[in-house]
Structure 1
């Protein structure tokens, strides 16, 4: 088996879907499972739908219509008549979405988020599957929620590996081309769950692990894994080979090209991961596998925007010891903060976090009961792997450095 994953940029319009078909024809699609994300910026549009549902119900119909029109335009570009059965299939999905809004009684934002957000993937795969069948690439559309089972930690669910392995081994026909959704799963009650943003890569790795696949290929709009995000850094270079360990380090620090949870199941079975460009299907791309740590050996830059830096000091100038640090981490866990950097001295403690669940004000109020608190919002966290003094000095130029931490092979800098 080979597992392909196509992200939203690869299927953002009709031309992208046609190109996906060309990639399959170029590479071959025997014994292949294809994981596909929502089209273009659909996930962002669906998040706007969710926002309207909770905070601005009069605008909800318009937000849904925006999503419908976007997909209708793609359908009309792909199919010669609007009487094609794909139009009915897509309409059924939008009808399901509207029915959920009318019947839902839960006020739980995270539960509602997961029930709504996945329609982007369900619709995109429905369209792609019908188009491939239309041009003679016969395939089987499968609902990933019937295969990947998780707990009910909505928006960041954990995989039930035993149930997932059993489902995939027992019910997936590997003799045909399969098309399925990334990002999604379902819990024990069959409610939709999600694996976290960018979780489609993880979906591909889950299937690869359970199928003992030969390889996973992530098709992107870049030639492979670059040493820096070209949106923020000039002269980004292609990395040809990365070891699992190095890739996991990069993912841990936030490299966006590979989802942090994707690599562990692949490493356990030594399944190579390729990152290639869907604009150049024959390009070598990047291989993540056993072997050389990094080729070429160059600094790798990672930036995380819109972070929050909290600095704490004791109110009575007493030491911040194990009991204080334990209390701090209990609160960070309670309010579901994603921690990226910590730094402490005798009487101070600093932490750079990501406020994923919008609980920052609650956290700060809790901390102020015991500590003097300084908070910097909208800071940027830069991480450089395999750094040298020249690249660090260049990065710090014209920036206010709020925190800097050096470790073997890695420097992290928080700037305003």
Structure 2
């Protein structure tokens, strides 16, 4: 004999019921079959809502009941031939009249007992089972309908009755052994106590009904038919990449169902596990799919972790006090107080010092829990030996489940590390000695991120998803977006990174799109976005709370740099092309670096010094390997190097500067480059990265620019340079007479930094530096005389964008 159970979605309407009838008819050909069905989808909620409204004196309960009646009448009319409808329509009408009478009584009394709730809720399964049985009969298939209340005997604990398995087994065996039928149909969820009064087995109890019957008749298998093709590695509503678990043990299934997996009702497993009856989870809407097999032995193949689950609406109760240390009985009194009020404890953790005990309960029970626990410890609270019970709400439990975890060290470490890197704070931890489950209490707002992070860590060996938010779509920003678009395939195939552009903003428009922005069409999509607001953009990034998030600043805006700390505190990495933050006051620079360390994210700004040149990276590698920097000599302005490599007195200095600006080598205001301010920032950043506490006003600057050129607008600047041509020509001529080249050099030596125009002779390391190239010479303890040299293109939108791109990859990994 086999048992098949169909849930509410499987019998939600006439179309779905026809699918059920087809599956049942096919199954009947193989073996004697028991079918258990739920109420039509949503009907139980309607019935309970109607009863609650009636108890509140709200006569809109009648509207709910009218919907219930209409749905069942429609189902009959669509499923049963017209000539055979009359009797069943009368049955539905009679039942709905009874329902209205019961609710009318509740309305008049303003009282709703648990016994009345069970009576009202029972009509859902009772009616659906009668309709489905008649539908099967109308298709020419013999079926015996049986009221489950005549077989499943419970105590009188209404709404969550406990089964008397001895009495139930006797009745079930007697009925099925004496019947000649090959197909039976029964309502799930409902049962009766020894007096014959209707009880229910708890929400989701139709699964339990099927398991009880399967155990009592020693069924060859139990099939749970639902709207998904098996148990999944995670909730597909939270994780798009969740996949079917082919095989799972009873214990693993129980753990997953306990921690929120809705595919199967938790008590279902116990009856079939005791009889070692295999359970299949199947999809009514894709019956050809294999589904999930729940069996005795855990599969040794596949993932170490079998699945990830979560429970929301959790409250964490903490009992603390020095008076608890070394005194036996505190735990007993705590759990006794909760048990007396039937408050279910979901998770327990206790410090080894015995100073505190934390338990997780459903948040709806938190207020009552505080009341009864504070009462139980009233004497100790008065004597200040114990603190009053504290409650934290808006929490959830995320859990890893898998029997194979016990033989693999490091699973807990990977779990907590993955969540920590994404800013998911863990409030409490529990792990049983069997090591089948590792549970962590986290904020409910972090659940989606946590489940995705854990799924990526333990199941998605194909790629890691990275979510980008880019501020700035000017010359460098546009080049960066173009480079990203070209490299998406390479990143996913070769580096296992799925990079998604989720947000983009410029000074006019912004766009946030969680499913991702098409990198081929970002300009058009951005133009159709909303008006730009830095505050809204940042809040949008934080509120989405996506895993592996990176904020990329490709602006020169001080307001954008001012939001870095807010993002880093949410474990969102920051990649900055913008120099303002790293060259701000030392305390702010240090604070940003410390925040990145504290919140397990990255603050990267390689392009602040040499565009795509790995200058900061090389410096950090030297220091991490134990080296010490003694001196730095550098040409750090691609703009100034371009200008002095191209100025020979044959054409005006102003014309060469304008060429540099037109070719994209200068800042929007070239005076930042020519004044040496930009070079001062760069050498200061390098000095700081080398470990020096230094500010801008401590760097000496021997400027070569006449004061007249530094006033007014950019246009005034060019006009003034034209007037000062003799000054610039003299600079060149003096260097040429000495057989030297002009280079604007930055130095850091013995804790002191300086920038200025120098004469560089042919023997100098900086002499052979052409075009817009930059060069940095690191003189260290390991490289005291022949320096470590980093040299290459130090300006231009394309190379700067590639440097930002490289930082994005570093932050991703």
Report the equivalent of 2:390.
374
Report the equivalent of 2:17.
17
On the 8 A contact 2:2/2:34 being kept in 1, the answer is yes
Among candidates 398, 404, 409, match of residue 429 of structure 2: 404
The alpha-carbon distance between structure 1 residues 307 and 297, as it changes in their structure 2 partners (threshold 3 A), is: same
In the alignment, structure 2 segments of 5+ residues that lack a partner are: 378-386, 406-410, 444-813
Moved more, 165-174 or 13-22: 165-174
Aligned length: 413
Deviations 1:84-122 (A, max 9, x none): 322112122212223333567795632221111111101
CA RMSD of aligned residues (A): 2.4
The alpha-carbon distance between structure 1 residues 405 and 131, as it changes in their structure 2 partners (threshold 3 A), is: same
On the 8 A contact 1:33/1:179 being kept in 2, the answer is yes
Query: Match of 2:9, SS?
Result: helix
Alignment of 1:175 with 2:202, yes or no, is no
Q: Normalization by structure 2: what TM-score?
A: 0.48
Deviations 1:121-172 (A, max 9, x none): 0111111111111121221111000000001111111111121112112223
Specify which structure has the higher proportion of helix.
Answer: 2
The alpha-carbon distance between structure 1 residues 321 and 75, as it changes in their structure 2 partners (threshold 3 A), is: farther
Deviations 1:313-361 (A, max 9, x none): 23x6542743221111111112211211111222211111125xx5543
Deviation at 1:393, TM superposition (A): 4.2
Alignment of 1:98 with 2:100, yes or no, is yes
Report the equivalent of 1:142.
146
Query: Match of 1:11, SS?
Result: coil
Report the structure number with the largest CA radius of gyration.
Answer: 2
In the alignment, structure 1 segments of 5+ residues that lack a partner are: none
Report the equivalent of 2:50.
49
Alignment of 1:227 with 2:257, yes or no, is no
How do 1:31-46 and structure 2 match up within 5 A? 31-46=32-47
Rounded Cα–Cα distance in structure 1 between residues aligned with 2:400 and 2:345: 17
Task: List 4+ stretches of structure 1 deviating above 4 A.
Answer: 102-108, 389-396
Q: Normalization by structure 1: what TM-score?
A: 0.91
Deviations 1:209-231 (A, max 9, x none): 11111110001111112121212
Rounded Cα–Cα distance in structure 2 between residues aligned with 1:18 and 1:325: 54
Rounded Cα–Cα distance in structure 1 between residues aligned with 2:16 and 2:428: 42
Deviation at 1:295, TM superposition (A): 5.0
Report the equivalent of 2:2.
2
Deviation at 1:34, TM superposition (A): 0.3
Alignment of 1:289 with 2:295, yes or no, is yes
Query: Match of 2:388, SS?
Result: strand
Rounded Cα–Cα distance in structure 1 between residues aligned with 2:189 and 2:330: 37
On the 8 A contact 1:220/1:275 being kept in 2, the answer is yes
Query: Match of 2:129, SS?
Result: helix
Report the equivalent of 2:246.
240
Query: Match of 2:243, SS?
Result: coil
Among candidates 156, 181, 196, match of residue 160 of structure 2: 156
Moved more, 62-71 or 128-137: 62-71
Moved more, 1-10 or 156-165: 156-165
Report the equivalent of 2:482.
none
Which structure exhibits the higher relative contact order, with contacts defined as CA atoms closer than 8 Å and separated by 6 or more residues? 1
Alignment of 1:260 with 2:266, yes or no, is yes
Rounded Cα–Cα distance in structure 2 between residues aligned with 1:295 and 1:179: 38
On the 8 A contact 2:57/2:110 being kept in 1, the answer is no
Moved more, 361-370 or 185-194: 361-370
On the 8 A contact 2:136/2:142 being kept in 1, the answer is yes
Among candidates 345, 356, 367, match of residue 361 of structure 1: 367
Query: Match of 1:234, SS?
Result: coil
Moved more, 72-81 or 131-140: 72-81
On the 8 A contact 1:241/1:295 being kept in 2, the answer is no
Moved more, 141-150 or 196-205: 196-205
Among candidates 392, 396, 413, match of residue 440 of structure 2: 413
Query: Match of 2:244, SS?
Result: coil
The alpha-carbon distance between structure 1 residues 290 and 342, as it changes in their structure 2 partners (threshold 3 A), is: closer
Deviation at 1:362, TM superposition (A): 2.9
